[in-house]
């Protein structure tokens, strides 16, 4: 029998991606529980969702009152809050041991029918699934950033993913108003297999003095009709995430063209991770509350 939509959708990780996924799911009418071990992170996520929903409401992009949307959202610091979930999406940092450990924990906690989905941008779904006793119920559900505005979900099927799990995930994506592209379980999948080498090459161009950050971004933005230049996009994604994907590509495919740029490595080593840290390729003004402002200047 075909699975219906989840009665309760869980999201683990209340960072930018997890909060966005929770917001979109609650906006679609689903009951959602957002879990993060840090209460302060949950508070920041709620503030971000309130601001995002208010902006969307002013633009007429959502018809429902933001308070009604958030009324379908629970927040918790205890994983036990997920015990009744039918479908859980992990959105924790792009660190494979962390994700594997989380999936092992969820595998024990969740009911047998529940699906485990990873928002990983590059890590093997097959390997993550192997950490559980339900590999047939594990799938890749890679949302794009920022989740409320981007229309794509990359759907990744591991070697053991069942047809039932795959079809249930397709239905969920459609319910969330997203279009899916389907990728084989290969390093970087489709989007980051193509996108991240471009970002990495932009760092090589910056390191070698081919152009300033502003000129590289202006050239790519206007010369190829992209909404953002690659260096500004890297700051939005997070330079640590970009580096993690490049390392996954390099390690998984073994080709020198995927070697992470030393400048990208150096920025991450310095803690210059992009907008979320207040500085990356560009410097971002920060409000007294600590949230990044809209102004950006070349660092």
For the annotated binding site for CoA, the residues are 52, 59, 121
- 154 included as an active-site residue: yes
Q: Catalytic one among 27, 118, 119, 121?
A: 121
List residues forming the annotated binding site: 13-18, 36, 52, 59, 94, 99, 121, 145, 276
Distance CA 2, CA 168 (A): 8
First to last CA, the chain: 56
Helices and strands (DSSP H and E) totals, the chain: 11, 10
Cα–Cα dist 294/284, whole Å: 7
Query: Residues marked as binding for NAD(+)?
Result: 13-18, 36, 94, 99, 121, 145, 276
Is 200 one of the annotated active-site residues of the chain?
no
Q: Cβ distance 16 to 49 under 8 Å?
A: no
> Which one is catalytic: 27, 124, 154, 169?
154
Going by C-alpha positions, the residue among 183, 181, 180, 196 that lies closest to residue 248 is 196
b/e per residue 120-129 (b: at least 16 CB within 10 A): bbbbbbbebb
The tokens of 198 are what? 């471009």
Q: Which of 27, 192, 200, 248 is catalytic?
A: 192
- 121 a catalytic residue: yes
For 227, the token pair is 């909404």
Angle made by CA atoms 15, 232, 263, in degrees to the nearest 5: 95
Q: Of 124, 142, 200, 248, which is the active-site residue? A: 142
Cis preceding-peptide flag for 182 (omega within 30 of 0): no
Alpha helix positions (H), the chain: 16-27, 39-58, 66-70, 96-109, 125-129, 163-175, 191-207, 213-223, 230-237, 239-253, 262-269
Is 124 catalytic? The answer is: no
Residues taking part in catalysis: 121, 142, 154, 192
């Amino acid at each position: 029998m075909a699975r219906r939509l989840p009665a309760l959708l869980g999201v683990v990780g209340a960072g930018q991606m997890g909060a966005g996924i929770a917001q979109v799911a609650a906006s679609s009418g689903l009951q959602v529980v957002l879990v993060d071990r840090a209460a302060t992170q949950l508070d920041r996520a709620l503030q971000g969702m309130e601001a995002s929903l208010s902006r969307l409401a002013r633009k007429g992009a959502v018809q429902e009152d933001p308070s009604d949307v958030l009324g379908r959202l629970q927040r918790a610091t205890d994983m036990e809050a997920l015990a009744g979930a039918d479908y859980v999406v992990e959105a924790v940092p792009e660190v494979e041991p962390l994700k594997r450990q989380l999936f092992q924990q969820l595998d024990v906690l969740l009911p047998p029918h529940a699906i485990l989905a990873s928002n990983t941008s590059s890590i093997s779904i097959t390997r993550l699934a192997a950490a559980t006793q339900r590999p047939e119920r594990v799938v890749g559900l890679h949302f794009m950033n920022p989740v409320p505005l981007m229309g794509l979900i990359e759907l990744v099927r591991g070697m053991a993913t069942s047809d039932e799990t795959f079809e249930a995930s397709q239905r969920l994506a459609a319910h969330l108003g997203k279009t899916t592209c389907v990728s084989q379980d290969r390093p970087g999948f489709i989007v980051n297999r193509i996108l991240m080498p471009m970002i990495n090459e932009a760092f090589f161009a910056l390191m070698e003095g081919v152009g300033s950050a502003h000129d590289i971004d202006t050239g790519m933005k206007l010369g190829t009709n992209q909404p953002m230049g690659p260096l500004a996009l890297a700051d939005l994604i997070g330079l640590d995430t970009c580096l993690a994907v490049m390392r996954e590509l390099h390690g998984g495919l073994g080709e020198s063209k995927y070697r992470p740029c030393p400048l990208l490595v150096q920025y991450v080593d310095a803690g210059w991770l992009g907008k979320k840290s207040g500085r990356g390729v560009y410097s971002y003004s920060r409000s007294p509350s600590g949230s990044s402002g809209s102004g950006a200047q070349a660092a």
